[in-house]
Chain A
């Protein structure tokens, strides 16, 4: 009997499973294989040692971690008030306000990148407004530098903060608030001692997922960042298309994969141990 549901399930799963096997697993295998094998040198770890000695790689590894941490942190700071606001609305109004988060979520990253080149550029909306206000030529550099990258990233990532944090906030039992109100707790105290601690699961999952997503960012640093904001993904593109050094590109890919697995794995372990500690 136990093998029968397995056989039935496999019929339904077959198309998606075969696609994933052939177009996800095999290509990822190719990345790992290419990182250690080249027709000229055979099997070797040469591309990894070459990467380690490359100042360009080390710098962009640091840049990637730095930008990802900043992006995740800033997005949390900006996304939390939105989730808090949504959690206090009636379901009907919440559905309406939710559209303000969902439309940007579904908007193409290229539309956003283009919009930000128009807003932040040298003759952009902000700089021309400042020039008009000051009455003399003002040029605040905001594009093709770290500011541009952060603006683009936070704008992309905020919805990914809002969804899990909102879910955590809505899961808080309303009677907790009534209790602390009766006890006379002041609003800031309620926030720091009740709301924030009880929303921590959402906050943590938001931080992990936005950080992991950021490590693979490609379009935003390429279009809004400067030469100092080259991230690992851009380096992969550079080695693949400019220098045609597939071994180097693949080795960076493996490292990127390693970083993501490490972080996601740690987060999952952490969640599991917390669940056990709570006796769940």
Chain B
């Protein structure tokens, strides 16, 4: 009896220690995202924490100066086009990879997924060398193409997970009723995977919007994206406006994260891992 009480107390103490450790790491993880918020509302030029006076000056400066707004618009443009290109390419590709068996499938998967294994810096250098040959560096088209291939693996994985969740019997029934393959894809498969497509599109937009290494190599002064602008700003003496930009980006990430959790194909049952399918790739080089 006494032994088991002692045992319980020990177990509780260990559990408490483990929880305390986990809480510390959670704090460490979210701290950088949270710390930028109060700084962004401080009076402009004042970088101290906690801020002494509150103002919206940094946001005003961000939204009214073209040195910040031009990159924002450029990033919005690239992320939107990339999002459309990626969804158009990734949805049918994911369908083919889940529902078809064909010779050379492994090779195709390896080629399409390679951008997550190859260090981005090498990919970016390759695109830079290749696009210089085609005189396409510094163009919006080059940036969109570069971002698209980089983002496709994440979206393919997200959408493939969605397709695996739907019952193939429905497709079989439709085929029995005489539906052609095209009808099957557009009228039977697509409507069932809308949540995955929305999640994939959001990921595509956010990854492209935040991408910095490929953009750093491919953009010119006219096509500078927001992350490139931020990168040079942090490198060459931090402008306090970055705090406002960072707060807005954190809010964007938070929204995308919530939507992705809500759109999980099996979030309702609380299945094995609640991490979004795209994170199963485990390799997103910085």
| Chain A neighbourhood of B101, CB < 8 A | 5
Q: For the complex, is A203 an interface residue (Cβ under 8 Å from B)?
A: no
Nearest residue in A to B97 (C-beta to C-beta)? A13
**Complex CA distance for A166 and B246, rounded to whole angstroms:** 29
| A 199-220 contacts with B by CB, 8 A | 205-206, 209, 212-213, 215-220
Q: For the complex, is A179 an interface residue (Cβ under 8 Å from B)?
A: no
Count of residues in A whose CB is under 8 Å from the partner chain: 106
Evaluate whether A166 and B273 lie within 8 angstroms (CB atoms) in the complex, with A13-B93, A16-B156 already known: yes
| A 67-110 contacts with B by CB, 8 A | 78-79, 81-82, 84-86, 88, 90-92, 94-95, 97-110
Q: For the complex, is A148 an interface residue (Cβ under 8 Å from B)?
A: no
Please name the 8 residue pairs, one residue from A and one from B, whose CB atoms are nearest each other, closest first.
A216-B119, A91-B270, A27-B126, A115-B32, A85-B22, A12-B96, A16-B93, A12-B92
**Complex CA distance for A158 and B22, rounded to whole angstroms:** 12
| Chain B neighbourhood of A215, CB < 8 A | 119
| Residue in B11, B129, B206 whose Cβ sees the most chain A Cβ within 10 Å | B129
Q: For the complex, is A133 an interface residue (Cβ under 8 Å from B)?
A: no
| Chain A neighbourhood of B49, CB < 8 A | 118, 125, 128
**Complex CA distance for A46 and B270, rounded to whole angstroms:** 57
| Chain A neighbourhood of B33, CB < 8 A | 103-104, 107, 111-112, 115
Among the listed stretches A49-57, A181-189, A272-280, which one makes contact with chain B, having 4 or more residues with CB under 8 Å of it? A181-189
Nearest residue in B to A185 (C-beta to C-beta)? B7
**Complex CA distance for A24 and B148, rounded to whole angstroms:** 10
- Cross-chain contact of B285 among A88, A216, A240 (Cβ < 8 A): A216
Q: For the complex, is B231 an interface residue (Cβ under 8 Å from A)?
A: yes
Evaluate whether A170 and B273 lie within 8 angstroms (CB atoms) in the complex, with A24-B149, A115-B35 already known: yes
Q: For the complex, is A257 an interface residue (Cβ under 8 Å from B)?
A: yes
Q: Are B117 and A79 in contact (CB under 8 A)?
A: no
Shortest distance in angstroms between B100's beta carbon and chain A's nearest beta carbon?
A: 4
Q: Are B108 and A17 in contact (CB under 8 A)?
A: yes
Among the listed stretches B57-65, B192-200, B253-261, which one makes contact with chain A, having 4 or more residues with CB under 8 Å of it? B253-261
| B 93-112 contacts with A by CB, 8 A | 93, 95-97, 100-103, 108, 111-112
Q: Are B238 and A114 in contact (CB under 8 A)?
A: yes
Q: Are A111 and B250 in contact (CB under 8 A)?
A: yes
Shortest distance in angstroms between B119's beta carbon and chain A's nearest beta carbon?
A: 3
| Chain A neighbourhood of B30, CB < 8 A | 100, 103-104
| Chain B neighbourhood of A29, CB < 8 A | 126
Q: For the complex, is B272 an interface residue (Cβ under 8 Å from A)?
A: yes
**Complex CA distance for A98 and B30, rounded to whole angstroms:** 12
Evaluate whether A98 and B26 lie within 8 angstroms (CB atoms) in the complex, with A23-B145, A253-B122 already known: no
| Chain A neighbourhood of B39, CB < 8 A | 118
Q: For the complex, is A262 an interface residue (Cβ under 8 Å from B)?
A: no
Q: For the complex, is A41 an interface residue (Cβ under 8 Å from B)?
A: no
Evaluate whether A170 and B249 lie within 8 angstroms (CB atoms) in the complex, with A5-B102, A19-B89, A31-B129 already known: no
Q: Are B29 and A100 in contact (CB under 8 A)?
A: yes
**Complex CA distance for A167 and B272, rounded to whole angstroms:** 7
| Chain A neighbourhood of B93, CB < 8 A | 12-13, 15-17
Q: For the complex, is B70 an interface residue (Cβ under 8 Å from A)?
A: no
| Chain B neighbourhood of A222, CB < 8 A | 231, 235
Please report A residues at the B interface, Cβ cutoff 8 Å.
Answer: 5-6, 8-13, 15-17, 19-21, 23-31, 34, 78-79, 81-82, 84-86, 88, 90-92, 94-95, 97-119, 123, 125, 128, 155-156, 158-160, 162-164, 166-167, 170-171, 184, 186-188, 191, 205-206, 209, 212-213, 215-220, 222-223, 232-233, 236-237, 240, 246, 249-250, 253, 256-257, 260, 264
Interface residues on B, range: 35 or more
Nearest residue in B to A23 (C-beta to C-beta)? B149
Cβ contacts A to B, 19 pairs, < 8 Å? A9-B102, A13-B92, A16-B92, A19-B152, A90-B270, A95-B261, A100-B30, A102-B261, A103-B253, A106-B254, A108-B227, A110-B234, A114-B243, A114-B246, A170-B272, A212-B285, A223-B231, A237-B121, A256-B121
| Chain A neighbourhood of B275, CB < 8 A | 98, 101-102, 162-163, 166-167
Q: Are A31 and B122 in contact (CB under 8 A)?
A: yes
Shortest distance in angstroms between A160's beta carbon and chain B's nearest beta carbon?
A: 6
Q: Are B234 and A212 in contact (CB under 8 A)?
A: no
| Residue in B93, B261, B276 whose Cβ sees the most chain A Cβ within 10 Å | B93
| Chain B neighbourhood of A105, CB < 8 A | 257, 279
| Chain B neighbourhood of A188, CB < 8 A | 14
Q: Are A117 and B234 in contact (CB under 8 A)?
A: yes
**Complex CA distance for A158 and B30, rounded to whole angstroms:** 11
Q: For the complex, is B76 an interface residue (Cβ under 8 Å from A)?
A: no
- Cross-chain contact of A28 among B28, B31, B118, B256 (Cβ < 8 A): B118
**Complex CA distance for A19 and B127, rounded to whole angstroms:** 13
Q: Are A217 and B285 in contact (CB under 8 A)?
A: yes
| Chain B neighbourhood of A250, CB < 8 A | 125, 129
- Cross-chain contact of A84 among B18, B36, B217, B270 (Cβ < 8 A): B18
| Chain A neighbourhood of B146, CB < 8 A | 23
Besides the known contacts A106-B253, A184-B7, 12 further A-B residue pairs in the complex with CB atoms under 8 A apart: A19-B145, A25-B114, A95-B270, A98-B275, A102-B261, A111-B249, A166-B273, A167-B272, A206-B282, A216-B285, A217-B285, A249-B125
